[in-house]
Structure 1
Amino acid sequence: MTDTSPASPPHPVIPGFGQRRVTVAGSPGPGGPRKVALHTAVGGAGPAIVLLHGFPQTHLMWRHVAADLATDHTVLCPDLRGYGASDKPADPDGTVYSKRAMAADVVALARELGHERFALVGHDRGALVAFRAGLDHPDAVTRLACLDVLPTADTWEVMRGVTAAVGFHLFLMAQPPGLPERLIGAAPDDFFGHFLDAWTVDPRSIPADVREAYLAACRAAVPSVVADYRASAGIDREHDLADRAAGNRLRMPVTVLQQDWGAALGYDAAALWRAWAPDLRHVTLDRGHFMAEEAPGEVVGAIRELMAR
């Protein structure tokens, strides 16, 4: 059952996009299908592209990219479960925020809006969801782009030694329920604002009203954000390792845009991605982490090149 009635728009919004609240039956849980309502911005017409946001953001991070792509595509920009204006279910068993469950949300969302097949682009946390969707739903995902992330299993393997300090939040939120939520909840603006500031090269790329929208969304989502990260230290890693052992690979054309983190942390990002994606275009950008906001033209160009492959 799906409610596609207009949702109350957050402020600010993506210009020219409608706001929907779509209820989907995602992955099954112990008590049956876990229905979630996803706040989704929808615009344009043509072949479908789904854009998934990262941390600590909402679908609003795609405002520039989505507006460009909507000139000749139908563009869907949901808030992931646990983020933004989407539902934030409790996580009693450590599986509610698995990337497998979140990927099932995305595929169900696209189908509810009339798109059996679609291109999928994700940034950061959204890229991990997109990666899992590509592995689990290859008949639905026609093309895949991942921005500034490594697959979960690879991330945990390269994060070691003092260089791992750059990812301190991964280790903090991997701890058992209780302490991470209390620590982050005591000063959410300081915690989430740290990443918005530290990972941005050009502060003008995230204006004050957008920054406040991100912080307000995060204040209301501390338990679910932590649960999302905790899943990556547990069930998400297990799923990746199982796929690696089974030889499962991404069947569709894949584009990866990344900063040159590998040089500092001592790994070859392109080689790690190529092990998962035989049809890969890997591009290193000299930009901050929030490249869809700092360099939207380059991101759009890469997505359009992917769509033409």
Structure 2
Amino acid sequence: MTHTDPHRTDPAHHPRIEGFAYHRVPVADGVRLNVAVAGSGSPVVLLHGFPQTHLMWRHVAAALADEHTVICPDLRGYGESDKPVESADGTAYAKRTMAADIVALARALGHERFALAGHDRGALVAYRAGLDHPDAVTHLGILDVLPILDSWDILRGRSAAVAFHLFLMAQPPGLPERLISAAPDVYFGHFLDVWAKAPDAIPADVRAAYLAASRAAVPSIVADFRASAHADAAHDEADRAAGRTLSMPVGVLQQDWGAALGFDAAALWRAWAPDLTHRTVSCGHFMPEEAPATVTEALRELLRR
């Protein structure tokens, strides 16, 4: 597979989690992930969402590092991790591929088994890791996302307007990349603005870091979203048909947008996760930054199960 060098921006645009050591770890096909690690004890891997980087976990990661080895990577295609060119079969950014990255990362750091939590896009990678690698994932935390098939089933009619980006980035290569690249800060900044209920939760330097990272990663971010309309949906359909479910304890934190759109989010997740705890929160989408204490306690409760 052909790879591009990650687009590097000024290091000033890459704030780091204080007290964490940074590494670049090879995981697959020459892809290297940027990862922050700190603490000791049982390992917990935290996966970021869109349009963010591992930095979104800065508050929660620091708190959990008191009791755990905390591992915060940038997903492939995001942040300072490598950004391979999309493959002809559209699987370079399939969640199956990205989940295999995370298992390989944990093993490279010495952990055959680990707890895993993800927000948004990272949560899609996390539950795919739980389905594909049940012997590796001990506990699974999901923040503010639905399973991929359920998302596509629910988003229809006027309610689909809130997720226009899913439909835009699902289009064939070329159009979405050109449109987004024409005004990347406007595009990515829109989500940082409208999805947060506490605007001060993302300070100016962190916002600048997210925008710089996203601006440098338009093709890979689009490829990640495009995969969810194709390869990811096919993988989920196969698992649903085979009756596969998540075997480990699963904890889901979500905004109560299920009520607004007329569906039962807990029931949707329970179909995939028989051992489920589901809670709604009152903060906005970026809950590890808007309500870090709530997220930290929820993850501690999950890890005690």
Structure 1 equivalent of residue 57 of structure 2: 62
Tell me whether 1:303 sits opposite 2:299 in the alignment: yes
Q: 1:49 aligns with which of 44, 49, 57?
A: 44
- For 2:103, the equivalent position in structure 1 comes to 107
Structure 2: distance between partners of 1:20 and 1:224: 21
CA drift of 1:9 comes to 8.9
Residue of structure 2 aligned with 1:177, choices 173, 176, 189: 173
Q: What is the SS of the residue equivalent to 2:85?
A: coil
Of 73, 76, 80 in structure 2, the residue corresponding to residue 78 of structure 1 is 73
Shift of 1:177: 0.3
Give the CA deviation at 1:263: 1.2
The CA RMSD over aligned residues, in Å, is 0.9
Q: Distance in 2 between matches of 1:187 and 1:292?
A: 27
Shift of 1:217: 0.1
Closer/same/farther in 2, CA of residues 208 and 10 from structure 1, 3 Å limit:
closer
State which drifts further: 105-114 or 89-98. 89-98
Q: Distance in 1 between matches of 2:238 and 2:183?
A: 37
Sequence identity of aligned pairs in percent? 72
2:186: which partner in 1? 190
The Cα of 1:12 is off from its aligned counterpart by 1.3
> In structure 2, which of residues 222, 225, 241 is the aligned counterpart of residue 226 of structure 1?
222
Q: How does 1:82-97 map to 2 (within 5 A)?
A: 82-93=77-88, 94-97=90-93
Shifted more, 170-179 versus 8-17: the winner is 8-17
Query: How far has the Cα of 1:272 moved from its partner?
Result: 0.2
Distance in 2, matches of 1:117 and 1:279, equals 19
Question: What amino acid does structure 2 have at the position aligned with 1:121?
Answer: A
Alpha-carbon deviation of 1:10?
6.2
For residues 231 and 214 of structure 1, the distance between their equivalents in structure 2, rounded to whole angstroms, comes to: 22
Secondary structure at the aligned position of 1:122 is classed as strand
The TM-score, its normalising length taken from structure 2, stands at 0.95
Query: Does residue 18 of the first structure (1) align with residue 14 of the second (2)?
Result: no
Residue 154 of structure 1 is aligned with which of 146, 150, 154? 150
Q: Which has the higher contact order (CA 8 A, sep 6+)?
A: 2
Q: CA deviation at 1:157?
A: 0.5
2:3 is aligned to: none
Distance 2:142 2:93 in 1: 19
1:283 and 2:279 matched: yes
Cα separation, 2, equivalents of 1:111 and 1:71: 22
- Whether the aligned pair in 1 keeps the contact of 2:25 and 2:32 (CA below 8 Å) is yes
| TM-fit CA distance, 1:55 | 0.1
2:13·2:212 contact (CA, 8 Å) conserved in 1?
A: no
Alpha-carbon distance in structure 1 between the residues aligned to 2:260 and 2:237 = 25
Distance 2:235 2:221 in 1: 20
Pairing 1:116-131 to 2, within 5 Å after superposition = 116-131=112-127
Asked if 1:144 is matched to 2:140, the reply is yes
SS at match of 2:156: coil
CA displacement at 1:11 relative to structure 2: 3.0
**C-alpha distance in 2 between matches for 1:244 and 1:287:** 31
Q: Contact conserved, 1:9 with 1:19, CA < 8 A, in 2?
A: no
Corresponding residue number in structure 1 for 2:206: 210
- When residues 182 and 212 of structure 1 are mapped into structure 2, their CA distance, relative to the original with a 3 A threshold, is same
1:41 is paired with a residue whose SS is strand
Q: Distance in 2 between matches of 1:240 and 1:24?
A: 23
Long gaps (5+) in structure 1: 1-7, 26-33
One-letter amino acid of the structure 2 residue matched with residue 75 of structure 1: V
- In the alignment, which of 151, 164, 169 is matched to residue 168 of structure 1? 164
Which amino acid counterpart does residue 38 of structure 1 have in structure 2?
L
What is the CA deviation profile of residues 47-98 of structure 1, one whole-angstrom value per residue up to 9, with x for unaligned ones?
A: 0000000000000000000000000100000000000000000013211000
Alignment of 1:40 with 2:43, yes or no, is: no
- In structure 1, the partner of 2:243 is 247
Q: How many positions carry a matched residue from both structures?
A: 294
